[in-house]
Amino acid sequence: MAVGWHRPTKLVIDTQAIKENVSNEVKRMPQGTELFAVVKANGYGHGAVQTAQAAIEGGATGFCVAILDEAIELREAGITEPILILSVVDVSYIDLLLKYDLSVTVATQEWLVQAIDQLNQIKTQAPLKIHIKVDTGMGRIGFTTPIAVKQTIELIQSTQVIAWEGLFTHFSTADEKNTSYFEKQSERFQEILSVLSELPQYVHVSNSATALWHPNNAGNMIRFGIAMYGLNPSGHALPEIYPLKPALSLVSKLIQVKELAVNEGIGYGNTYTTTKNEWIGTVPIGYADGWLRHLQGFSVLVNGEKCEIVGRICMDQCMIRLPRKTNVGTTVTLIGHDHGANITLQMVADKLETIHYEVACTFSERMPREYK
C-alpha cells in the first residue's frame, strides 16, 4: 500500500512516552524479572521497529511477536535481543527460525515431533529454542494437562536439537474486577509447575493486565503489550496503577471549508442535512485509513473546540461541522491534545463499541507514522 506522505493526515508517535511506560514498569518488577515488549501487529499500529527501539531504551530485554515475518522484520532492522513468536509456526520454516535466532511457541506434541524430525534432517549445529504454551483457560493454543506438558518435556530432553527456553500461559480476565476465573487459571498453571522437577530459563504468565493488577504471580518475565503504548488494558474497568502515557496521536488539516445553506445534504446517503447555514470542513481521512464509518457523529478538535463529524465517512475524506469560518490548512486533531482539550483512543473505541486495541490496529499503512 502506498503511504500518504504528500497529504496532511498522519499518526504521530511519541517514542519518549513508550520509553517512560516501559521504564515505569521495570522499576516495579521484582529483582531477576525481565520485560519483553510485545510489538506484534506493527507495534499495535504504532510501528514495530521504532517502538522496539524505544522499549530497549526503557529497559526491555526481549520482544514478543505473533508471526514469523514480524520477528524477521525486527532482526533485519538490527534488533539483536531475544524474540519469542507467540503463535505456531509451520515446521517447514524451521530453517528461518534458526537463521534469525528466534524462539518459537510449542502448543502440541505433534508439532514437536515433526520439528525434531525436520531438525535431524537438516543436521543443525544450534538447537531450536522453544517455549511450551499451556492453555489454562483461554481456549486458544497450548497443552491442557500436566501430564501432556511433562511428556513434552521428556521428549525435549531426549534430543539435542531442541532447547527448552520457556514455559508460559495467558490469562483471559486479568483486566476485570471479578478475579474468580483469573484465580482458576492461576491454579491450573500452578498444577503444571508442581509436577515439574526443573524449570526453563523463562517462566511467564504476565501480560500487561497481569503485571499491573496481579504482580505476585509465578514467573520471571513480563510480556508488556498494550500498557507500553500508554493504554489501560481494562479500558474503564480498573484504575491505572501508575499514570500510563499514551503514545499515539492522529492529526490532519482542513483541505476545504465552505458555508452551506439550510437543508443541504452531506455525504453518501444524505444522512445529514444542514439545519441552518453551516460551515463545513473537509478532512482528508476516511475508512481506508481506519477512520471507520461508524464514527459519524463523533467529534474531532479544531483549535481546541469539538467539531462533529457530519454525514457518512467516505473512503478517503470526512466532513465536520465548524463553529465558524476557519482557514484551510488548520490542524484537525482526531486523537490527542489540542489547546487544552483531548480525544483519546478509548473515546474512539467507546464510540465504535469496541476496545482501543482494535482501533490502534485498524489504522492502515496508508497513514504515515511520524516519530518524535
Which residues are part of a known binding site for substrate? Answer: 140, 315
Among candidate residues 245, 214, 249, the one with its CA nearest the CA of residue 232: 245
Question: Nine-digit cell at 345?
Answer: 483512543
Residue with cell 489547546: 339
Strands 318-322 and 305-310: antiparallel
Residue 313 to residue 243: CA distance in whole angstroms: 33
Residue 272 to residue 234: CA distance in whole angstroms: 34
| Beta partners for residue 131, in sequence order | 105, 166
Q: Strand ranges (DSSP E) for 220-317?
A: 221-224, 248-253, 256-260, 265-266, 272-273, 278-283, 299-302, 305-310
Residue 256 to residue 272: CA distance in whole angstroms: 18
C-alpha distances in Å from residue 16, one per residue of 22, 225, 227, 248, 262:
10, 16, 14, 11, 47
Residue with cell 527456553: 165
Among candidate residues 169, 244, 178, 301, the one with its CA nearest the CA of residue 18: 244
Residue 301 to residue 144: CA distance in whole angstroms: 49
Q: Is residue 227 helix, strand or coil? A: helix
Please say if 306 is a catalytic residue. no
Which member of 40, 129, 133, 253 is catalytic? Answer: 40
Provide CB contacts within 8 A for 198, sequence distance 6+.
none
Please say if 202 is a catalytic residue. no
Residue 147 to residue 277: CA distance in whole angstroms: 73
Which member of 258, 268, 325, 372 is catalytic? Answer: 268
Residue 179 to residue 318: CA distance in whole angstroms: 42
The annotation places the binding site at: 140, 315
Residue pair 343/336 in contact by the 8 Å Cβ criterion: yes
Among candidate residues 250, 235, 223, 254, the one with its CA nearest the CA of residue 330: 254
Measured at the CA of 148, the angle between CA 144 and CA 152, to 5 degrees, comes to: 125
Among candidate residues 360, 334, 364, 363, the one with its CA nearest the CA of residue 349: 360
> Would you please indicate which residues are annotated as catalytic (active-site) residues?
40, 268
